[in-house]
Amino acid sequence: MEQKTTSILKTRLSEEDCQKLMAVNNSTLHQFIAEYVELCNPDEVFVSTDSAEDVQHIRQSAIREGGEKELAIKGHTVHFDGYWDQARDQKNTKFLLPKGVDLGPNILSVDKEKGLEEIRTILKNIMRGHRLYIQFFCLGPTNSEFSIPAVQLTDSSYVAHSQNLLYRLGYKEFKKLGDSGAFFKFVHSQGELEKGVSKNIDKRRVYIDIDKDIIYSVNTQYGGNTLGHKKLAMRLAINRASEECWLTEHMFLMGVHGPGGRVTYFTGAFPSLCGKTSTAMLEGETIVGDDIVYIREKGGQVRAVNVEKGIFGIIKGVNSKDDPIIWKAFQSTGEIIFSNVLVTENKEVCWIGKEGEVPKKGINHSGQWSPGKKDSQGNEIPPSHPNARFTLDMKLLGNLDPELDNPKGVVVSGIVYGGRDSDTWVPVEESFDWRHGVITKGASLESETTAAALGREGVRKFNPMANLVFLSISIGRYIENHLNFGAKLKPPPPVFSVNYFLKGAQGRFLNDVADKKVWLKWMELRSHKEVGAREAPTGLIPEYEDLKRLFKEVLNTAGGSANGKDYSKEDYIKQFTTRVPENLAKIDRIIKIYRTKVPDTPQIVFDMLEAQRQRLKEAREKYGDYISPDKF
């Protein structure tokens, strides 16, 4: 086998690239690459090391091959995906499972033998006429027990360039790995191209083999389907974490700056377009990561690392007022890839929600564009896709936390769950304890759907820990892992919920966009037990006087006054009223889901939800359906 592998690599790779590969002493790696070079049959192969020359070569290739085009600001480029290739393809993202293995009705799968036969048939000769890029990465900081080495094969220079911005280079990590070291593996092909985009969307497939730690992605360019080390790798890591008693979570990781220069680290899980990145990017705080974390218990403490070093973020709504740090990066030189935005003849970019007038013409994912243009189904095409993205290395951000690459991670002092909820959750609330937080906040998380996933928008969806579509284990086992993890902690950090989307009787939001700064500062103080709280039936809510003070201290008026913002008692009551009917309805929905769709639900989930129901009913008997926080 080794002789055959060596023969293939020496035949198909240049002498220089073969030497790069052979410098990594891992026979499993060599066999994997040889197998897929033969199957996919690229015209040439480029092996990328950690060198600046190799990294720059990939960026230049993306421009030369047309996957990206240069923009007016130095370092900025734009990429367009095909019109029907603009989001994660959840329908065709499936696990390859052997007969007799079932992860539950919420997790899509295909028979492993049939799935492998199908994907290998699609992959056969798919890279003919293309160039294959082989890249090595480290998921998490280098030289860290948290981290996982990973290799990606792709024939898209755009994907390869994006990966270099998003992940720590790992060629040296692979050289240290040794022959027995395990790693994640990814095979991607954009397939046959038509006008520079994937043509055979009907054969778009994303298949996940958790037994072999391999992911296949074909006939797609969109980053959520092709950047293997993002949510695809997260699925592999969730499975590994479950086996090894740690956690892989869809969470930001940030430093919240408290009194006396104190920095307190929080993780937070939010479904797409629910405020996750905007929270992690708040002015005055520092960001460690905006998307995926590995979490381990060390000496009774929770420690976490950011899997990535960059951001693949939604650009819709980004503006100078609400997102000043990202906005500043957009105006500065440095490598940024914009995808599926509008490009003007001056090589400037526009997107939905960008301040200023929308250009009268330009080029976007639909081709030549002007206001009123419609697609083949009669839908008006906006200037940018609602799921348009930007990709950048976080070193371009002015609020980057110095602990980003700490191999030991940072100590987590609070965990936050938030979704889109117009009528139930209060703006911020602390759980009674770890189990209550995991079950009534994390495992009960709901949110409206967004354009980040194919399908309808505005539908309320059950999304435990904002991780449902990325799970590689059953929901019941996933919840059990969280409960067991918390049992090891001395003590566990507090668990909070936030809701930026609560509405009043007239359908108006009760939170201002900037209010999240205050909720975060309150959570920081609560994690150190420096402010009190009122005990509502669903958790611990802030005292009015504490919020009144924080609104004065944290928020400045539009004119930059140091007097902050006045926070009225009326606003406090509206925001923190316990809405009993809505909370009871939520409990009914969540219990029904767990009873009918999650056969391995731990009994404690039902016990905890029933206890919450009983507290709500008792409160209603005393105070009615809508209970002012002053009653508690």
DSSP string computed for 247-274: EEES-EEEEEE-GGG-EEEEEEE--TTS
Q: Name the nearest CA neighbour of 627 among 426, 440, 446, 417.
A: 426
Instruction: List b or e across 470-505, with b for residues whose CB sees 16 or more CB atoms inside 10 angstroms.
Output: bbbbbbbebbbbbbebbeeeeebbbbbbbbbbbeee
Q: Classify residue 116 by burial, with Cβ atoms within 10 Å: 0-12, 13-18, 19+.
A: middle
Backbone angles phi, psi at 390, to 5 degrees: -135, 145
Half-sphere exposure in the Cβ direction for 598 (13 Å, CA): 24
Residue given tokens 């080794």 in the structure block: 2
d(CA 248, CA 579): 33
Identity of residue 616: L
3-state secondary structure 179-236: CCCCCEEEEEECCCEECCEECCHHHCEEEEECCCCEEEEECCCCHHHHCCCCHHHHHH
Are 40 and 125 in contact, with CB atoms under 8 Å apart? yes
Are 352 and 365 in contact, with CB atoms under 8 Å apart? no
| Catalytic pick among 18, 40, 245, 274 | 274
In the structure encoding, which two tokens stand for residue 460, read together? 């309320």
Q: How many C-beta atoms lie closer than 10 Å to residue 560's C-beta?
A: 6
Beta-ladder partners of 169: 137
Q: In what order do the strands lie in the sheet with 336-339?
A: 69-70, 76-79, 336-339, 389-393, 310-314
Q: State yes or no: is 40 an active-site residue.
A: no
Which residues are known catalytic residues?
Answer: 274
